[in-house]
Amino acid sequence: MVQPFLAFGLWCVVFTLAIMGLLTSGAGNPDFTGTIVLDYKPFCQSFVVQTERGFMLLLWEDGTLFFGEGDTVTGPLHTQGLRSIEVADRGKMEVRVETWFADVAAAQTAFRERCGLDPSMPLAGPLLR
C-alpha cells in the first residue's frame, strides 16, 4: 500500500518540476527588429517588414496609424497570429503576423495579391536590401 503513495508522490514532484522548468526557461526574447519595406496606406491594411530572417507579411489591426516605408518596428515579428509591436518614435500597434517569405519577389507577389495591386505596379523601392 505504501508503494502506490510513494509512486504518486514522486510523480507529483516530477510533474511540478517539469512545469516550473517550462515556465522559467521559455524561448528567450522573441522580439526582432525590422524595417517596413512595402506599404500602401490608406488603401490596404497589409504591409511587409524586412528582418534579418526574411520578409514578414503583416496586417494592421489597431493602434498607431502613423507609420510607413522606412520605419523601424520591434516585436515578435516571427510569431504568427495577433501581436503587439512597437513602431520606433510612433507608438504601439496590433498586427496580425500572417506569413514569412525568404525572398523579396515572393513578398512582393503576396503583397500585390493582398492589396489588389496590378502586377505591373512597381514596388521595390530603395529600402529593399
Per-residue pLDDT of the chain (129 residues; tens, 9 = 90+): 677 767 777 677 666 766 665 554 445 557 899 999 999 888 999 999 999 989 999 999 998 888 889 999 999 998 889 999 999 988 999 999 999 999 988 999 999 999 999 888 777 654 555
Cα separation of 38 and 107, whole Å?
9
Q: Rounded CA gap, 41 and 104, in Å?
A: 19
Phi, psi angle pair for 75, to nearest 5°: 160, -170
Domain boundaries, the chain: 32-115
